Amino acid sequence: MKTIRMTESLMSYVNGHTNLFDDVLAQLVADTERLGSPAIMQVGPDQGAFLTLLTQLSGARRALEVGTFTGYSGLCIARGLPADGLLVTCDINREWTALATTAWRRAGVADRIQLEIGPAIDTIRALDPAISFDIAFIDADKTGYIDYYEEILPRLSPGGVILADNVLWFGTVAEPPFDQSTMAVRKFNDHVLADDRVDVVTLTIGDGVMLIRKRP
Ligand SMILES: C[S@@+](CC[C@H](N)C(=O)[O-])C[C@H]1O[C@@H](n2cnc3c(N)ncnc32)[C@H](O)[C@@H]1O
């Protein structure tokens, strides 16, 4: 089997080989780093660029995000949408998302992003059932992933895509012992795998991303 051992220098080479990382994103990384340990939650430049390109390639017009944090992934998704597109993004934290709204304004995409503060499951359930989404990114509390997935899938357009982040959970998912978080991630991964409504592939980008396509 062909595998690559990831090192810091290789990771920085990978992150250096996208032309979608710019000054606005660099500023957001710096602002987020000042928060200290929570900064680890931010997606990396490679994953952000992947989100932008996948959003563009899929022709998505409406996007949904669970887990805004300081707005990096949301900004990347919004950049892949057309000017009249919409990203609805959910979080519970006002302090972190204040950094997000500043970055979105700097990037000129604030008008296509709707931030919803409150438990994401309530936000999703309250969405207008007539609105369908073309792409969704799940990146919040791991124990909620199955519920988010089950609520989002019926609201996804046929052929639409869900991306679930952290599905390799720092590389702990394959070998025991499994702690509670790892168990939650494994349960989600198996749940999706057993679902015949979707096609799925697990990517080793970032902390592991599951790419899920709703069968038309
Ligand atoms: C891993 S971070 C998201 C990182 C973000 N996607 C990025 O790239 O910068 C997870 C976020 O989920 C939020 N969160 C946790 N539980 C939540 C819930 N029940 N509803 C909504 N957001 C939640 C946290 O406040 C945190 O900002």
Q: How confident is the model at residue 169 (pLDDT cuts 50, 70, 90)?
A: very high
Neighbours of 118 (CB within 10 A): 11
Task: Please report the pLDDT score of residue 184 as a whole number.
Answer: 96
Task: Please report the pLDDT score of residue 152 as a whole number.
Answer: 98
CA-closest residue to ligand 1 atom 14: 140
Residues 14-33: pLDDT tens digits? 999 999 999 999 999 999 99
Residues 60-112: pLDDT tens digits? 999 999 999 999 999 999 999 999 999 999 999 999 999 999 999 999 999 99
pTM for the full predicted model: 0.98
138 CA distance to ligand 1 centroid (A)?
Answer: 9
CA-closest residue to ligand 1 atom 9: 42
Q: Which residues line ligand 1 (CB under 6 A)?
A: 41-43, 67-70, 72-73, 90-93, 96, 119-120, 139-141, 144
Task: Please report the pLDDT score of residue 74 as a whole number.
Answer: 98
Probe residue for ligand 1, chosen from 72, 92, 122, 148 as the CB with the greatest number of ligand atoms within 8 Å: 92
The contacts of residue 83 (CB under 8 Å, 6+ apart) are 112
DSSP string, 32-57: HHTT-GGGGGSPPHHHHHHHHHHHHH
Mean pLDDT on 117-130: 96
Q: Which CATH class is domain 8-214?
A: alpha beta
Ligand 1, atom nearest to 97 Cα = 27
User: Is-contact 49 73, C-beta < 8 A?
Assistant: no
Angle value at C-alpha 69, between 64 and 75, nearest 5 degrees: 55
Residue that has been written with the tokens 């702690």 in this structure: 179
Q: Is the pLDDT of residue 2 over 90?
A: no
143 CA distance to ligand 1 centroid (A)?
Answer: 12
| DSSP helix/strand/coil, 124 | helix
User: Is-contact 181 169, C-beta < 8 A?
Assistant: yes
Q: How confident is the model at residue 41 (pLDDT cuts 50, 70, 90)?
A: very high
Q: Which amino acid is at 136?
A: A
129 CA distance to ligand 1 centroid (A)?
Answer: 23
CA distances from 195 to 38, 65, 122 (A): 33, 21, 24
Task: Please report the pLDDT score of residue 129 as a whole number.
Answer: 87
CA-closest residue to ligand 1 atom 22: 91
160 CA distance to ligand 1 centroid (A)?
Answer: 22
